[in-house]
Amino acid sequence: METTGHALRPPVLVATPYPEVAMARAERLFDIGSRASRMMRSADVLEAARRREAQAILISVGLVLGEAEIEQLPASVRIISTASVGFDHIDLAAAARRGVLVSNTPDVLTDATADLAMLLILGACRRVKENMQIMAEGWVRSNGFSEGLGLEVTGRTLGIVGMGRIGRALARRARGFGMPILYHNRTRLPEDLEEGATYFANLEDMLPECAILSLNLPGGRAPVMTRDAFARLPDQAVLVNAARGSLVDEEALLEALASGRLAAAGLDVYRREPGFDRRLAEHPRTFLLPHVGSATTETRLAMAMRAIDNVEAALAGRPVPDEVRV
């Protein structure tokens, strides 16, 4: 139940602006002080948390709370709630040592991110960046019959690395294009969740079969796509990544594009954000977006509300629905 009495509202730091409806709810539930006009820097979060003796911090991707920052948090902080499915911007081990809960927002961004992954597939295969540039320049010359040809998406074999909620949602969309689905996961899914997809216990065995490869697993680990992994793909394969930039060795990606091993790449995430490697943008066969997988009005509101749900539960002493454990 939402509490409106001012004296009963615990101090909470909202370190990044959420949609207005979510901010209004946060103000009813908590004492959030003055609203941030944009995402706060880590140093400002620490200062504000200490000054306000915040019991919770609401953040999102882009605001990093690593070991050094978490060690400096005041003892008043009980939970860090991120409005994101990813949580590699938070040092979970450091939070656990301090007794600080961490929560994320799974489920609510599944469809938006799967839609965008499908967009990356289509954009990369059909050379959308090059064609948009032609239109921006006024379309002064028609392509010849054999110029500017892209790759057929329909019927192409799609390999999915990480068959969680988003991976399965992408598979459902890809089936509409008649794409055979292969997948690699830590464990095989039950047959009803596979929906006819073929499981590979070893990624190395799956890569040579993938005309298109989509990364749909959490980051915060060593790159999945290394030079060796790219070498295992068939010639003229396509890579799409709407998960985490840390999953791809970008030097190896550029080499695979230069060699022709990779026909194209569709990326929404990068090892450095926002200051990504500009060589990726300069390559003609990349289709790039600025980390907008969950960027729909409906999804961002749902994420913010879910993040607030987690804080409300923690501060009321109830189990946190989306607690992330080490």
- Work out the percent of the chain whose per-residue pLDDT is above 70: 97
Domain with CATH 3.40.50.720 in the chain: 6-108+297-315, 110-288
User: Contact 262/253 with Cβ under 8 angstroms?
Assistant: yes
pTM above 0.85, yes or no: yes
User: Helix crossing, 110-125 with 297-315: angle to 10°?
Assistant: 140
User: Residue 1: its pLDDT value, please?
Assistant: 40
pLDDT band at 86, cuts 50/70/90?
Answer: confident
User: Residue 4: its pLDDT value, please?
Assistant: 45
- Region at 201 (left for phi over 0; alpha for psi -120 to 50; beta for the rest): alpha
22-63 residue pLDDT tens? 999 999 999 999 998 899 999 999 999 999 999 999 999 889
Q: What is the average per-residue pLDDT within 186-211?
A: 97
CATH H-level superfamily of 6-108+297-315: NAD(P)-binding Rossmann-like Domain (3.40.50.720)
Upstream peptide bond of 10 is cis (omega within 30 degrees of 0): no
Residues identified as active-site? 244, 273, 291
**Which helix (H) or strand (E) segment is 254 a member of?**
helix 250-259
User: Residue 218: its pLDDT value, please?
Assistant: 79
How many residues are given for the chain? 326
CATH H-level superfamily of 110-288: NAD(P)-binding Rossmann-like Domain (3.40.50.720)
pLDDT band at 220, cuts 50/70/90?
Answer: low
SS3 13: strand
User: Contact 295/62 with Cβ under 8 angstroms?
Assistant: no
- Helix H, strand E, coil C: the string for 278-324 is HHHHHCCCEEECCCCCCCCHHHHHHHHHHHHHHHHHHHCCCCCCCEC
Q: Is the predicted pLDDT of residue 6 greater than 80, yes or no?
A: no
- Helix H, strand E, coil C: the string for 208-236 is HHCCEEEECCCCCCCCCECHHHHHHCCCC
232-279 residue pLDDT tens? 999 999 999 999 999 999 999 999 999 989 999 999 999 999 899 999
User: Residue 5: its pLDDT value, please?
Assistant: 44
pLDDT band at 193, cuts 50/70/90?
Answer: very high
